[in-house]
Amino acid sequence: MRVGVLVGVVSCAVAAGCSTTVSGTASDGGVSRDAGGVAEFRPVLSAVAPVAGSAVPTPPGAVAPPACAEYRDRPSVEAGKACRQDPLLGISDEYRAGVVSAFGCDDRALDGKTDSALPLATCGEDGAESFVLGRAILGGDDIAAATASPDPNGTGWTVQLSFRSSAQTVWSEYTREHVQERVAFTVDGRVVSAPTIQSAITGETTVTGGQGGFTEEEATALADRLGG
C-alpha 202/C-alpha 55 separation (Å) is 38
Alpha helices in the chain, H assignment, sequence order: 67-73, 77-84, 93-100, 165-177, 216-225
Question: Phi, psi (5° rounding) for residue 158?
Answer: -130, 170
Burial of 12 (0-12, 13-18, 19+ CB in 10 A): exposed
Cα–Cα distance, 100 to 5 (Å, whole number)? 25
pTM value is 0.77
Please state the length of the chain: 228
Q: Are 207 and 15 in contact (CB under 8 A)?
A: no
Beta-strand ranges (E) seen in 52-182 are 120-123, 130-133, 138-139, 143-150, 157-163
Domains in the chain, please, with CATH?
Answer: 6-40+136-225 (3.30.1360.200), 51-133 (no CATH)
Which ranges of 153-212 would DSSP assign to H, the alpha helix?
165-177
Q: Is the Cα dihedral 147, 186, 175, 129 positive or negative?
A: negative
* Tens of pLDDT, residue by residue, the chain (228 residues): 555 455 453 322 222 222 233 333 323 333 333 334 678 999 999 998 764 444 555 666 778 888 888 888 887 889 899 999 999 888 888 888 888 888 888 888 888 899 999 999 999 888 888 999 999 999 988 999 999 999 887 779 988 889 998 999 999 999 999 999 999 988 889 998 888 888 888 888 887 776 777 899 989 988 887 765
The C-alpha atoms of residue 223 and residue 221 are separated, in whole angstroms, by 6
Separation between Cα atoms, residue 93 and residue 102, nearest integer Å? 14
Cβ count within 10 A of residue 26: 25
